[in-house]
Structure 1
Amino acid sequence: MKTYTLPDTNEKETVVQNMFTSAATAYDINNTVLSFGLHHLWKRLTISLLDIQEGNTVIDLCGGTADLSLLAASKSGKTGHVLTMDLNFAMLRIGLEKVKAKQSASKEKCSVAIVQANAEFLSLRDSSVDRLVVGFGLRNVSHLDAALSEIYRVLKPGGRFACLEFSTPVNSLWRQMYKFYSFALLPSIGKIVSGDQTGIYEYLPASISRFPNQETFCSMIQKAGFREVSYRNLSGGIVAIHMGVR
């Protein structure tokens, strides 16, 4: 299996943004193909656990194509507000198209706004957000501690944070099978579906393998100031939902 070298911290933002710009058009279909459709179930469960209430202000950080935003909007209702925040313009453009399609289909205003933003420097007031969710995005930021600090800052006291992210399978055999799929098969399938030549489908499994495991990430969330920190493994730990309360 070919070894992929992750970009260093100083180059990471530029490299990753170029990759996601190239992959944006095929991103949703590749998510479905590569996860065998499971990402839809994972996202619905994450939003359910976030306990969004009618009228809540919700941030979908690193929200890209707005899947989680649309699910959150169905919970926050007509009086709520959902912001899809992502640094990548091409991904946000796909998200905006989906929001407009949802609005057209329902004949009602969809309470989702699209905002280009860096997860490490959020242009939001302190304690201004009821709920914040991140789906498969925090491993792409250059400084994870800075992003967690910003998430904590913008949430209201009692506000809830949920992070859906690829993690470490709990069974050693399952771990080896997942590693083979991620590094040997996923890059080839991703390239075939998307036609991408930037290396994003080599980058993704490499970035997953470098992301903190469940317990380590819990410790980082606690260090950022959150309480009631917990996680829930899905699909044998291939994915985990981490939760915390401000």
Structure 2
Amino acid sequence: MVRAERSPIHDQPEEAAKAVSTWSGQAREQAVQRMFTAIAGVYDLNNTLLSFGLHHHWKRLTASYVPTVTNGRALDIGAGTADLALLIEPKMGREGHVIASDLNHAMLAEGLRKVTGRGLRDRITCLQANAEQLGFPDETFHAVTTGFCMRNVGNLTQAFTEIRRVLRPGGRFVCLEFSRPAYGWLRGLYDWYSFRLLPWIGTKVARDRTGVYEYLPASIRTFPDQERLATLLREAGFSRVEYRNLTGGIVAIHVATK
């Protein structure tokens, strides 16, 4: 297990968000990778505990926006432990294939174990890759998905441009990410949970000392809200962009068509 110093996240939400916003480039990438390496083995358990099991429902809904195709090719970016890749695999048809990509080797190794356990190694390939520099030819995929990954990307514009490049004409990008709750009372409650309770629970269960469970809510606070994210997707050249709020806007699914 990789050891790392505690991240510079503070107790107050605004201070935490400000601290995360100052991280950039390679330093941010390295810090994020250390964090996820440290918690890879308990990532699924903590996801279930911290979301009260809702992440399974959110991912199933995300997969439902992926069209069913014949001999399809799909790319799941930031695949982690491969939950979303496994859900979209049946939609690619009998001769279809899914690439489950992630920058973090430890998380991808957990995903590979799941894929192998389902007997799907001939259908799903786990590949280490960077969302900002996708090493695939133009117009390769019918669909690209991502779940809870984009807020960890250093340059969203570059990532969205790359995603559009590798999509076929008419292809669909489906993005599941934490967002801004639609109601004021829910925002206050969510901030209390995110910046107080979540770090405590996550750290106790994972026995983590990297600060990842303080980084995660702060990264959510600094991530573009629903409308801003839709604007960035349009600016990247997607022809049609829509989004759907889930659980009061705590998370949102953006669907962008090339």
State the TM-score, normalizing by the size of structure 1: 0.96
* Residue 69 in structure 1 maps to residue 85 in structure 2: yes
> Which residue is 1:8 aligned to?
23
* Amino acid across the alignment from 2:48: T
Task: Tell me how far apart the structure 1 counterparts of residues 102 and 175 of structure 2 sit (CA, whole Å).
Answer: 15
Shift of 1:74: 2.0
Match of 1:22 among 22, 38, 45: 38
**SS of the residue 2:65 aligns to:** helix
**SS of the residue 2:138 aligns to:** coil
> Which residue is 1:81 aligned to?
97
- 1:216-231 maps to which residues of 2 (within 5 A)? 216-231=228-243
What do residues 51-102 of structure 1 show as CA deviations (whole Å, max 9, x unaligned)?
2323210100011110000011122233101000110000000000000011
Whether the 8 Å contact between 1:52 and 1:131 is mirrored in structure 2 is no
* Residue 149 in structure 1 maps to residue 161 in structure 2: yes
Whether the 8 Å contact between 1:73 and 1:110 is mirrored in structure 2 is no
What do residues 155-194 of structure 1 show as CA deviations (whole Å, max 9, x unaligned)?
0000000000000000000110011000010000001111
* Amino acid across the alignment from 2:139: S
Name the stretch that deviates more: 194-203 or 74-83.
74-83
Name the stretch that deviates more: 83-92 or 51-60.
51-60
Structure 2, unmatched stretches of 5+, are 1-9
Task: Tell me how far apart the structure 1 counterparts of residues 68 and 150 of structure 2 sit (CA, whole Å).
Answer: 21
* Residue 120 in structure 1 maps to residue 136 in structure 2: no
Task: Tell me how far apart the structure 1 counterparts of residues 35 and 71 of structure 2 sit (CA, whole Å).
Answer: 36
Whether the 8 Å contact between 2:73 and 2:96 is mirrored in structure 1 is yes
* Amino acid across the alignment from 2:189: M
Moved over 2 A (4+): none
Task: Tell me how far apart the structure 2 counterparts of residues 184 and 221 of structure 1 sit (CA, whole Å).
Answer: 32
Structure 1, unmatched stretches of 5+, are none
Whether the 8 Å contact between 1:50 and 1:160 is mirrored in structure 2 is yes
What do residues 6-25 of structure 1 show as CA deviations (whole Å, max 9, x unaligned)?
15112110000000000100
Shift of 1:109: 5.7
* Residue 35 in structure 1 maps to residue 41 in structure 2: no
Task: Tell me how far apart the structure 2 counterparts of residues 235 and 220 of structure 1 sit (CA, whole Å).
Answer: 23
What do residues 106-132 of structure 1 show as CA deviations (whole Å, max 9, x unaligned)?
xx6651000000000000000111000
**SS of the residue 1:231 aligns to:** strand
Task: Tell me how far apart the structure 1 counterparts of residues 113 and 164 of structure 2 sit (CA, whole Å).
Answer: 30
* Amino acid across the alignment from 1:68: L
